[in-house]
Structure 1
């Protein structure tokens, strides 16, 4: 039997997931991290991307997070996300529209937009679409 770790994924709106897992993979700012039971404690800032909760050898649950904080203790992982959603619940039409709007804003060279904000919105939409695509392939 594999050593498990308790995982909580919460957003500002609600608790998204709570349960045991063999591994958790999360998009930390410095790169993706993998966390198993009895991991050394740490706290990291997360970038937009996919959090994968490996429940068993045959089941992995994908979630999209827009950023936030990852807290790791030896027996518990807490994902405090700005926004979190199960991959199956991602609104593809909204993500495509956000991507289109961000690309349009970045193409505007008039100087009337906040390019950093538009780039962040584009990254957010692209990560949502990647998470949804990976979920559909599995």
Structure 2
């Protein structure tokens, strides 16, 4: 029995369909979700979300960060931003890196939450650049 996958951004529900497996870019590393997976919530880092149907990878999406809520029947990805890999631009990624570096330099380093948020944005921008430069 497939896993129900939902991908949601602040703006809308982007995808809702049954898949055989989804691999999410979790903060701890790539996390493969199959039907019957143990319940958990995973923090997502910027990276590539991969969708499998049958034995084939059918979709690859860039995820800027967020959370994945996993149950034995479902994987719900709550993402800050999602885009098809074909829409990931090197120039946009480089611009985001510059903006994130400037924000990190300007942030009050004693404000741990703000510092961590700026570091997350920088990591996501770097992941976006890596995706844009990949063959």
User: TM-score, normalised on structure 1?
Assistant: 0.76
Q: Partner residue of 1:83?
A: 81
> What's the CA shift string for 1:52-104, capped at 9, x where partnerless?
1112323331112222111111121100111222222223321121223445x
Q: Determine the structure 2 residue equivalent to 1:31.
A: 29
**Mapped partners of 1:131, 1:14: distance in 2:** 24
Task: State the partner residue of 2:106.
Answer: 113
The alpha carbon displacement at 1:122 in A equals: 2.5
Q: Which residue of 1 aligns with 2:50?
A: 52
Report the secondary structure of 1:59's partner residue. Answer: strand
Q: 1:28: Cα distance to partner?
A: 1.9
User: Which residue pairs with 1:124 in the alignment?
Assistant: 124
- Show structure 1 runs of 4+ deviating over 4 A: none
How far 1:118 moved relative to its partner? 4.9
Task: Choose the corresponding residue for 1:65, options 63, 66, 84.
Answer: 63
Displacement of 1:14 in angstroms is 1.9
Q: Write the distance in 2 (CA, Å) between the matches of 1:38 and 1:118.
A: 35
Q: Secondary structure at the match of 1:70?
A: strand
RMSD: 2.4
Give the aligned length: 128
How far apart, in 2, do the equivalents of 1:92 and 1:42 lie?
33
Q: What is the deviation of 1:11?
A: 0.5
Equivalent pair of 2:68/2:76 in contact (CA under 8 Å): yes
- Does 88-97 or 78-87 show the bigger shift? 88-97
Query: Can you give the 5+ residue segments of structure 1 that lack an aligned partner in the other structure?
Result: none
Gap regions ≥5 residues in structure 2:
110-114
TM-score (normalizing by structure 2): 0.78
SS at match of 1:12: coil
